[in-house]
A and B are shown apart, each in its own frame.
Chain A
Amino acid sequence: MAEKVIKRPDSMYSEFARKGGAAPTATHYCPGCGHGIIHKLIAEAMDELDIQDRSVMISPVGCAVFAYYYFDCGNLQVAHGRAPAVGTGMSRARDDAVVMAYQGDGDLASIGLNETIQTANRGEKVAVFFVNNTVYGMTGGQMAPTTMIGEKTVTCPEGRTAEQAGYPLHMAELLNELKAPVFIERVSVSDIGHIRKAKKAISKALKVQKESKGYAFVEILAACPTNLRQSSEESIRFINNQVEKEFPLKNFRDISDCTVPLFRGASDFSKKSLDNIFNLEKDSSLDSVDTPNFGDIGIKIAGFGGQGVLSMGLMVARAACDEQYHVSWYPSYGPEQRGGTSNCSVVISGEAIGSPIVYEPDILVAFNQPSLEKFASDVKKDGVIIYDSTVGNCDHIIPEGIKSISVPATKIAMDAGSKKGANTAMLGIMLATGRTKLPPEAFNKALDETFINKPKLIPLNKKVLNAAVKWAEKNIK
């Protein structure tokens, strides 16, 4: 039999330089506390599994806030309860890292309960070591979510009652309801026999990480003689006789043998891949250029939701973009959308655009009467109002001296074979008026781009556009 030398594991610093002080080999933990034992078990397991270099230990808020004093591996210290979320970020960024979150009962089961459950539920590649000593430690002995009925703490001085504070949370059982976790076990470090079993569970949880298999959870019942006002012996008896009854020790789950490793793959940072995502080679315009003499054209398009108001605006914007003008499109959102009306502003300009919201349109396109009523009086004196003739006679709404065109947009579209093409018909009328100063090719190209994913609609919409232009040539004087 080989001689066994009991020594400090390599994964634990031999001197705790980060702690400082007069006793560089003593921990900051109280006598009889379970943390020191648990730290050593984790470090031993790290040695045995040869994962020290890959390991990242996440220290919580609580007594183990200084876990980074002790573990000779990459260390993070994080906000109260957030260790599993931080672990998620670390694990996603570093697929190879062995990520450990070390948390107490307040941290894990109270303020961080959401992160705890969700991280387990996503099956993150994180080993969570949950030290349950039924009481808050660092903050001074307050009731924990795991404090037992009748147990006295600073904030339940007469003992916890169910009426006042509900029942202790059973985290291992709770997490065992989830599908994703690979390994869940509850152990204790009350005495030698228990410590041996705890070591096995901790090793297993880390082996799951070493093999990239997913989430592992080890709940460790430990003593807090200081805050529970117990001697070391009393604290051991307390765990063995009372805590274990409330929180039975057992393996809840181990599906590591039938779990396949999860590798998330490397990130691709090449420009070519990104250009492909956005289809830059085929679908891009030339950059906008300044054409100072062009001036500004403000367009307001308004109607009921579903009438293609916003998409018509985008089509105009596309046409302007293709012609290398500066252009902006802005949809109203928020209160104005209530009641089913919507509108958008399009500004076409030869220079950098100021307000993207059009207050005084050069062109108003109104698909319904409320829109006409709302915006007609804003139209510039030399502007034009184009409205759908199904609105009826609106002469009383059109301000005096403003040119208006009543267009049977729906009929033009229907006659050309499109049920939904009233907005394209309006686009054709707008083109025909010449007020946008954009050429017909730009509008046709805009249709190509708009329906790039529904190519059948391209010829149909072009037909509507042309029909509208013809209607305009015939009917607009």
Chain B
Amino acid sequence: MATQLIKGNTAVIIGALYAGCDCFFGYPITPASEILHEASAHFPKVGRKFVQAESEEAAINMVYGAAAAGHRSMTASSGPGISLKQEGISYLAGSELPAVIVDIMRAGPGLGNIGPEQGDYTQVVKGGGHGNFKNIVLAPNSVQEMCDMTIQAFDLSFKYLNPAFVLSDGVLGQMVEPLKFPEKSISPEPDESWAVCGNAETKHNLVSSIFLDFDQLEEFNFQLQEKYDVIQNSEFDYEEYKIKDASIILVSYGISSRICRSAVDVARQDGIEVGLFRPKTLFPFPGKELLELARSRKCTFISVEMSNGQMREDILASIMYSRPVELVNRMGGNIVTLDGVMKKVYEVADREN
């Protein structure tokens, strides 16, 4: 057992190293650059491969190359860079290659600014690039989870041969907390049943996303959807905080969920029964669990997010519009405030009484 005070962005690389990530390819962008810095500092120390790519597109395609070899590879970026990578992410999904992508979200659209935001929800959770694909998306809310979920992202991406995201934000990247280091390190071996390793064992393997025949491509698309169904049913994860008797349920992920946890405590001191439902996976979204909550009691949901309500749409669809879903949001680089959440909580509480 070993604990150190670690910055969120550094924790990503610690997770990657213990997860057996062999190759890091990245391009500088604030506020994700520290991940690149840490990779450049540490990967070569253990013979792991690091390349500062010429562009975000090149970085994701380098990932494609190493992933095609069956190696654990990753890249990290922020909003504008993720937009650029979308082509490559679609190809990864289409070729069923495992890879980890970390998004330290910043404010947009366009160049926006380097402040934190959660406005990449849709482009990451819904696939983003062309075609009928989805990414596995994990949403950490602490430095510990920045590390742990990077490891988990590798495991899931290899389990399902699908790109996996760690969707984080500028606050989590910058903040420092005690990190309990991983207790084991992984020594991965390429899966020679599909990987192209440049050896006799794998020379008949082909990594490709092209299907000329419409019916074959349609069949492949249906197979992908079946895979996503399996992921949906078996990999969803969430955390509940004081939800048991709550009539007001905050739904929030990432840094916003940390503010919400404080809001729950403050509200309960005032005698208002508030709870927090935090999705830890965004795809798969724990929608069934939200629906059960909605059916179990008369309640109001409040989606708390640093975007224009992108997750709120998923909450509404999950609960089949059966309960009101309010929105507390900030954008432009501003963080959701405790006051902002409490104002809405009081408003809803007043209305209900």
Contact = CB atoms under 8 A, between A and B. Distances in A.
Contacts of A74: 196-199, 202-203, 205
B18 A271 contact: yes
Contacts of B210: 65-66, 77
Nearest to B64: A86
Contacts of A268: 46-48
A124 to B, nearest CB: 9
A93 B73 contact: yes
Given A56-B196, A86-B62, A93-B73, A114 B171 contact: no
A89 B199 contact: no
A270 interface: yes
A68 B114 CA distance: 43
Interface string A52-76: 1111100100000110100011111
A68 B208 CA distance: 9
B54 A274 contact: no
A196 interface: no
Nearest to A280: B2
A90 B53 CA distance: 14
B333 A78 contact: no
Contacts of A355: 258-259, 261-262, 338
Given A75-B207, A85-B57, A333-B31, A53 B200 contact: yes
Size bin of chain B's contact surface: 35 or more
B259 to A, nearest CB: 5
B66 A90 contact: yes
Nearest to A359: B338
B5 interface: yes
Chain A contact-residue range equals 35 or more
A68 B206 CA distance: 8
Contacts of B49: 92-93, 264, 267
Interface string B179-217: 011001111100000001111101111111110000000
Nearest to A279: B4
Contacts of B71: 93-94
A69 to B, nearest CB: 10
Contacts of A327: 5, 177-178
Contact of B198 (A86, A98, A330): A98
A288 B144 CA distance: 12
A285 B178 contact: yes
A354 B259 contact: yes
Interface string B1-31: 1111100000000100110101101000001
Interface string A96-115: 11110000000000000011
A242 interface: no
A333 B334 CA distance: 11
Contacts of A352: 261
B36 to A, nearest CB: 16
B176 interface: yes
Looking at chain B's contact residues, the main secondary structure is mixed
Interface in A321-361: 321, 326-331, 333-335, 352-357, 359
Nearest to B265: A354
A334 B181 contact: no
B18 A266 contact: no
A52 B174 CA distance: 48
Contacts of B171: 330, 356-357
- Most B C-beta atoms less than 10 A away, residue of A55, A97, A99: A97
B291 to A, nearest CB: 26
A274 B20 CA distance: 10
Nearest to A72: B203
Contact of A334 (B14, B202, B333): B333
A299 to B, nearest CB: 13
Of A97, A268, A286, A357, chain B has the most CB atoms within 10 Å of the CB of A357
Interface string B276-293: 000000000000000000
A359 B178 CA distance: 21
B259 A114 contact: no
Contact of A359 (B5, B73, B337): B337
B202 to A, nearest CB: 6
Interface string B36-68: 000000100111110101110111011111111
B118 to A, nearest CB: 15
Contact of A285 (B3, B23, B46): B3
7 tightest Cβ-Cβ pairs between the two chains A and B: A89-B65, A97-B198, A354-B262, A354-B261, A85-B61, A89-B62, A77-B208
Given A79-B87, A97-B198, A264-B49, 18 more contacts: A74-B198, A76-B68, A77-B207, A82-B57, A82-B58, A92-B23, A93-B49, A93-B69, A94-B198, A115-B57, A118-B58, A280-B4, A327-B178, A328-B175, A331-B175, A333-B115, A333-B174, A355-B262
9 contacts: A66-B210, A73-B203, A74-B196, A76-B68, A96-B199, A288-B180, A314-B5, A327-B177, A333-B170
Interface of A: 18, 52-56, 59, 65-66, 68, 72-79, 82, 85-94, 96-99, 114-115, 118, 122, 264-271, 273-275, 277-278, 280, 283-288, 314, 317-318, 321, 326-331, 333-335, 352-357, 359
